[in-house]
Chains A and B, each alone.
Chain A
Amino acid sequence: MQDLRVLDDAHAAAARKEVYRVTIILSILTIVELALGYSMVNMSEQSFSRHLIKGIILILMLAKAFYIVAYFMHLKHELRNMIMTIVLPLGLFIWFIIAFLADGNSFRELRNKYAPYDQESNIPVKQNQHNEQEKGTIELKKAVE
């Protein structure tokens, strides 16, 4: 049976302090993510630094997820049994992500090799495209030249 007793004041103050600390950590992580995202604005699509920044952003995303689940959802303060019943099944995602992304990548490579006429980059560009997008495209073409 869970202990439903009312928390004492010291305990409550410590809990509130933890909330403020986690809020600050989450805000800083978000600001760093946004700054990294902003730094990619004029970077070429396939450059190594762009992939590196994307990787860093994904790691920061996992850190944010950890802080939300561990502290806001209070999972870190539960019993080990409880933590494991939630976390272990989610481990399936490691396999899901590796398997499905590899599958998508292999599908693209096979299509490029055996059915290059089917590439979507062969679709002619329609007129009256969105203006902002045209601007970005021109910038990129200039960068290539």
Chain B
Amino acid sequence: MSTTTATATATTKWWSGGRSPFNVEYGKIMMWYFLMSDAFTFGALLISYGTTRFATQGWPDPNHVFNSFPGLGSGYPLLFVSLMTFILILSSVTMVLAVQAGQNMNKRAVVSNLIFTIIGGLAFLGCQAWEWTHLHHEGAWWGRNPFLNADGTQSTTNFTNFFFTITGFHGFHVFSGVVINIIMLIMTLNNTFEKRGHYLMIEKAGLYWHFVDLVWVFVFTCFYLV
């Protein structure tokens, strides 16, 4: 008897039916596939940015373009964007904690961590709104680029066009993530998940929120650092 069980577990036939080969709930798999398609969308945007940058003679130095901090004025390269990055990382951490609290059926912890995540998301959007306004006051917008190339030559509008399009598309994702998290918060407060017996919905919202953080890692590196 024991030998048959041993061989059965050694050669688990995941694809011969009767079980889920991924062992993941349907909605979560679909969220993963949606995020994969979204990754290709963002990838296409970032790769077109890279291609254009490689095809262009010069490019503005991000350390000279993004060097302002609200209340401090200019001359602080990378400072404001580091604040934005840490806000998003921390909101991602509170989201993991909300997911784990949901797995423990701990409603109070889910609610508080979701609130922290929503505050983080709103803070990030506020930072982005400030930065866009600031750049707009400096004369930057789609089709307008006041910044010179790093070598002092005139720059094309490729720089601002890609910056506003890609950070705008990412900001739109953050905004939808905040809306989704608010819906999750309302559903938790209404005991929807308690009655359902599981908090799997929070895990799907969590996947989306982490993806937003993941995209920011790439956007942040491509526009502000490299």
Residues of chain A having any CB pair with chain B under 8 Å: 1-2, 4, 6-7, 12, 15-16, 19, 23, 26-27, 30, 33-34, 36-38, 40-41, 45, 54, 57-58, 61, 64-65, 68-69, 72-73, 78-79, 81-82, 85-86, 89-90, 93, 96-97, 100-101, 103-105, 107-108, 111-112, 119-121, 123-126, 129-130, 132-137, 140-141
Contact = CB atoms under 8 A, between A and B. Distances in A.
Contacts of A4: 197-198, 200
Nearest to B32: A86
A104 B103 contact: no
Given A15-B100, A23-B90, A73-B210, 9 more contacts: A1-B20, A4-B200, A57-B221, A57-B225, A72-B92, A72-B93, A85-B22, A101-B51, A123-B153
Given A68-B213, A108-B54, A12 B218 contact: no
Contacts of A30: 82, 85-86, 89
20 contacts: A4-B197, A15-B100, A19-B93, A27-B89, A30-B82, A34-B78, A45-B61, A45-B151, A79-B23, A82-B22, A89-B36, A100-B48, A100-B50, A104-B52, A108-B54, A108-B57, A111-B55, A120-B57, A125-B148, A130-B147
Interface in B28-85: 29, 32, 36, 39, 43, 47-48, 50-58, 60-61, 63-65, 67, 74-75, 77-78, 82, 85
Contacts of B21: 79, 81
B54 A41 contact: no
Contacts of A79: 14, 21-24
A70 B170 CA distance: 21
Nearest to B214: A68
Given A72-B210, A133-B64, A96 B146 contact: no
Nearest to B97: A19
B17 interface: no
Nearest to B225: A37
Nearest to B65: A133
A90 B43 CA distance: 10
- Size band of the interface chain B makes with A: 35 or more
B178 interface: no
A100 B210 contact: no
A81 B58 CA distance: 45
Contacts of B138: 130
Contacts of A93: 43
B217 interface: yes
Contacts of B155: 120
B54 to A, nearest CB: 3
